[in-house]
Amino acid sequence: MTAIFVCPRMLLSLLSGLIMGAAVLFVLYRWVIPTAVQYHGGLALLWHDIIVERALDTLTRTSRPQRILKAVQRKATVGDPQSVITAIDHFCRHREWAMNVGDEKGSILDSVVSEVSPVTVLELGTYCGYSTVRIARLLPPGACVITLEFNPDYAAIARQVIKWSGLEDKVQLVEGASGDWIPWMKEHFGVQAFDLVFLDHWKERYLPDTKLLEECGLIQKGTVLLADNVICPGTPDYLEYVRNSPRYNSHYYRSHLEYTKAEDGLEKSVFLGY
């Protein structure tokens, strides 16, 4: 058998190269690429919402919503909704980006909820319950938010986040497709019309679901529609409809895509009547 001799100098050089390569990759992953995509919404979504999420899912054998829940359980105080919001924001800014409405646009959401002071709220798209908690913590006594989530895995995490915040008595979380549930809202929940509708689900569903809400009489004079991500990823057909329809008085709140510097915003549309 022939012995294989490895020169210590060659081995040291190889190890140094591996360490240097790993360090470069870490710096690219942790700082360079995230900084480079900060001002471009499409690149930010590609990097954070596809490449990084899939890589971390594979490496950790957990999902992003599960990692968000762990952050809440580690950092937030049970029964304190603000601490839940703070824990998620900190995680998303410093550990792993996620497509919540975020802290900057969240402040706009807060101001609209406080202005409307709604008794009945419909949220389309729960994800992990971040915006649900933001809304529910500001509702007056006796008010309720019905939040609709298509993905059962997201819904399972959201229930735990909402319970951790102590707001489960103000929230009814429903699993299923918006197009299937909206026609049954009156019968199932006894709701005549919503005071506030927050749209934050599939962007291609904004317009058809708005029209469905109109057809089902779930929007009344004075109802406020607040739509997230109208610039990035974008909802051009919805914006064209609410900005040009005589049924709505619409206003755009310019902001940024959650936890980035890329432009995004919220569209507030007040229903003027049929």
Active site residues: 200, 203, 228-229, 258
- What is the C-alpha to C-alpha distance for residues 96 and 213, in angstroms, rounded to an integer? 35
Sign of CA dihedral 105, 146, 128, 78: positive
Whether residue 263 contacts residue 257, with contact meaning beta carbons closer than 8 Å, is answered with yes
* Cα-Cα end-to-end distance for the chain: 90
- What is the C-alpha to C-alpha distance for residues 170 and 235, in angstroms, rounded to an integer? 29
Nearest one of 93, 98, 74 to 84, comparing CA atoms: 74
Q: How far is CA 39 from CA 26, 103, 200, in A?
A: 21, 17, 22
- What is the C-alpha to C-alpha distance for residues 235 and 199, in angstroms, rounded to an integer? 11
CB neighbours of 272 closer than 8 A, spacing ≥ 6? 221, 246, 247, 248, 249
Q: What is the maximum alpha-carbon separation in the chain?
A: 90
Judge residue 191's burial from the number of C-beta atoms within 10 Å of its C-beta, 0-12 exposed, 13-18 middle, 19 or more buried.
middle
